[in-house]
């Protein structure tokens, strides 16, 4: 007896996801302690970061922000769920150097000059020396450190060291930057300057950014979208579209504008609930 020929399944329509920088589906991360105790650091995480989009992850200390970023970077593996970076597995994306990473500590090599630190990833991946020199010059210019090319990290301020780390993360022209509180160790004024700098760099490179912070104003100033997380277990509880205009057009003045304050209020309410206008009610979240 013949069975009817199966009708051809329609071609799957390419979804917006296929072009996305990051797609996180149903991700969970459980850490198992030595004595059988376990911590659910993340559960039910669904997140899409579009190509060229700037997304901040915000939430109190311990809600799993760093864990989520480390999973995307393939520095750790989810207990369940799936992560894609430009349509590739997180592992493949790491092998392909599809992203640059910058953390709270600049992590520079003290025995290498500023230029040599920025050059390192290019050297490791076999770029020729003439090409390397040209690229390093470009990056030094981008972060405003041309005059410090021959300096060593311990001769620089914290803000300058962080600019070197950002230049290094941009060395291979990644379409995605993963940043974990990169300005967390800086004083407030330097931090605001660095934020403006990052917006400018991002406008020039068009890279997508996943940016971890616990500062509400920082998240609002930088982001297209702020993803709000809550702890125990770490999950996404809200997402706020920030509409402050294109990165290239955001200047220091923005911090005085009502749209900025509205964004700050919206994120604060998402973190603490609408009743709470009292600063600092969620532990570990910076409302300055």
Interface region with ligand ADP, contact rule CB under 6 A, candidates 61-69, 96-104, 109-117, 120-128: 61-69
Does the protein bind ligand ADP through residue 236 (CB under 6 A)? no
How far apart, in whole angstroms, are the C-alpha atoms of residue 35 and residue 41?
17
Both tokens assigned to 120: 């390192």
Residue found under tokens 């405003």? 144
Task: Find the binding residues for ligand ADP in span 87-116 (CB under 6 A).
Answer: none
Q: Whose Cβ is closer to ligand ADP: residue 150's or residue 232's?
A: 232
Bond from prior residue into 239 cis (ω within 30 degrees of 0): no
Out of 25, 30, 48, 62, the only residue in the binding site for ligand ADP (CB under 6 A) is 62
Interface region with Mg ion, contact rule CB under 5 A, candidates 58-66, 73-81, 88-96, 112-120: 58-66
Cβ at position 122, least distance to ligand ADP in Å: 30
How far apart, in whole angstroms, are the C-alpha atoms of residue 262 and residue 51?
26
Q: Whose Cβ is closer to Mg ion: residue 66's or residue 215's?
A: 66
Q: Whose Cβ is closer to Mg ion: residue 122's or residue 285's?
A: 285
Does residue 49 sit in helix, strand or coil? Answer: strand
Residue found under tokens 């200047």? 251
Q: Whose Cβ is closer to Mg ion: residue 66's or residue 162's?
A: 66
Cβ at position 236, least distance to ligand ADP in Å: 12
Parallel, antiparallel or unpaired: strands 38-49 and 88-89: unpaired
Inter-residue contact 30 to 41 (CB < 8 Å): yes
Interface region with Mg ion, contact rule CB under 5 A, candidates 4-12, 64-72, 108-116, 138-146: 64-72
Q: 141: buried, middle or exposed (CB in 10 Å: 19+, 13-18, 0-12)? A: exposed
Binder of residue 67, out of ligand ADP, Mg ion, none (CB less than 5 to 8 A by kind): ligand ADP
Out of 43, 56, 67, 215, the only residue in the binding site for ligand ADP (CB under 6 A) is 67
Of 200, 165, 168, which is closest to residue 183 (Cα–Cα)? Answer: 165
Inter-residue contact 270 to 238 (CB < 8 Å): yes
Task: Find the binding residues for ligand ADP in span 190-219 (CB under 6 A).
Answer: none
How far apart, in whole angstroms, are the C-alpha atoms of residue 107 and residue 166?
11
Of 99, 66, 81, which is closest to residue 182 (Cα–Cα)? Answer: 66
Out of 43, 56, 66, 213, the only residue in the binding site for ligand ADP (CB under 6 A) is 66
Out of 23, 42, 47, 66, the only residue in the binding site for Mg ion (CB under 5 A) is 66
**Contact residues for ligand ADP (CB under 6 A)?**
31, 39, 41, 59, 61-67, 234
**Contact residues for Mg ion (CB under 5 A)?**
66
């Amino acid at each position: 007896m013949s069975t009817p020929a199966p009708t051809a399944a329609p071609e799957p329509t390419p979804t917006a996801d296929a072009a996305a920088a990051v797609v996180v589906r149903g991700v969970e991360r459980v850490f198992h302690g030595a004595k059988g105790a376990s911590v659910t650091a993340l559960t039910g995480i669904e997140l899409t970061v579009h190509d060229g989009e700037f997304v901040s992850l915000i939430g109190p200390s311990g809600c799993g922000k760093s864990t989520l970023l480390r999973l995307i970077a393939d520095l750790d593996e989810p207990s369940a769920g799936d992560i894609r970076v430009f349509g590739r597995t997180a592992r493949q994306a790491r092998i392909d150097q599809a992203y640059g990473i910058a953390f709270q500590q600049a992590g520079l090599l003290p025995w290498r000059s500023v230029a040599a630190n920025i050059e390192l990833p290019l050297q490791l991946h076999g770029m020729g020396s003439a090409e390397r020199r040209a690229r390093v010059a470009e990056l030094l210019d981008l972060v405003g450190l041309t005059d410090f090319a021959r300096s060593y990290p311990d001769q620089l301020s914290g803000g300058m060291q962080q600019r070197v780390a950002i230049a290094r993360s941009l060395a291979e022209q990644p379409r995605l930057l993963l940043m974990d509180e990169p300005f967390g160790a800086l004083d407030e004024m330097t931090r605001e300057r660095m934020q403006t700098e990052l917006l400018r760099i991002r406008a020039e490179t068009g890279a997508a950014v996943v940016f971890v912070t616990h500062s509400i104003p920082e998240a609002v100033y930088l982001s297209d979208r702020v993803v709000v997380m809550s702890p125990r277990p770490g999950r996404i509880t809200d997402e706020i579209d920030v509409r402050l205009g294109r990165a290239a057009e955001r200047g220091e003045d923005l911090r005085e504008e009502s749209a900025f304050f509205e964004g700050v209020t919206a994120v604060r309410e998402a973190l603490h609930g609408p009743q709470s206008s009292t600063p600092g009610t969620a532990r570990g979240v910076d409302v300055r």
